[in-house]
Amino acid sequence: MIKYRLFDLGFSGYEFTWANRRYSGELVEEQLDRFCASAEWMALFSYFKVSHLDKNLSDHLPILLDTFDKVEMSSRSKRTRKFEVMSAEDPRCEEIITSSWNQVGDIEAHWLKSLLNWNVEEFANVQKHIGIFQHQIKQVSDAKKRAEVLRKIQYWRHKKEILWWEWSQIDFLKFGYQNSNWFHSKASA
């Protein structure tokens, strides 16, 4: 990296990108994968983010390099509060709706506020929950406790999958079908 004057771009997300997946024995995790760039590239793409995504069946975490302009950066910081589909799967969702309907006053406003607050508190940072449990699993030696932590990791990975699915649907509605004839002719050749 020094010879070619490349810089490590850092990352957000889970610390390691590879694991030997030996949960019953000696678990080994390393950060093998990373994005590097030259100073020229960094000047050209001054706003970027490297994310360690969630692994499913592989022993490697996929990594994503996202580049965006200043306008996108400012719009990302002003996130609107939305009710996510993954929240509807949670059994507590019905309880919150029921208790909100029993309140006196502006029922719709109270119901919506309660639901949005719960949604943000419970599901705001899915990756953080995954990271916490992945950190816990390294410290657990008991097989039953390890299995419980693995179930929690799977639960949050499922939530993340739903979230990604929902975002993909929003992007499809926003941008439409982008596969052009040119793309298909090149991909088929």
Give the CA dihedral 179, 181, 182, 183, nearest 10 degrees.
30
| pLDDT for the residue numbered 66 | 87
| CA dist., res. 142 & res. 164, Å (int) | 33
pTM: 0.40
> Which carries the bigger pLDDT value, residue 159 or residue 117?
159
Would you say residue 108 has pLDDT above 50? yes
Domains of the chain, residue spans: 1-78
Please compute the mean of the pLDDT values over residues 134-139 and round it to a whole number: 83
CB neighbours of 72 closer than 8 A, spacing ≥ 6? Answer: 47
| pLDDT for the residue numbered 73 | 47
Which of these ranges, 16-20, 99-103, 165-169, has the smallest mean pLDDT? 99-103
Q: What is the pLDDT of residues 79-104, one digit of tens each?
A: 555 556 666 777 777 777 677 666 65
What does the block give as tokens for 20? 């030997």
Check: CB of residue 114 under 8 Å from CB of residue 96.
yes
Q: Give the highest mean pLDDT range of 8-17, 94-103, 148-157.
A: 148-157
Check: CB of residue 68 under 8 Å from CB of residue 25.
no
| CA dist., res. 56 & res. 19, Å (int) | 12
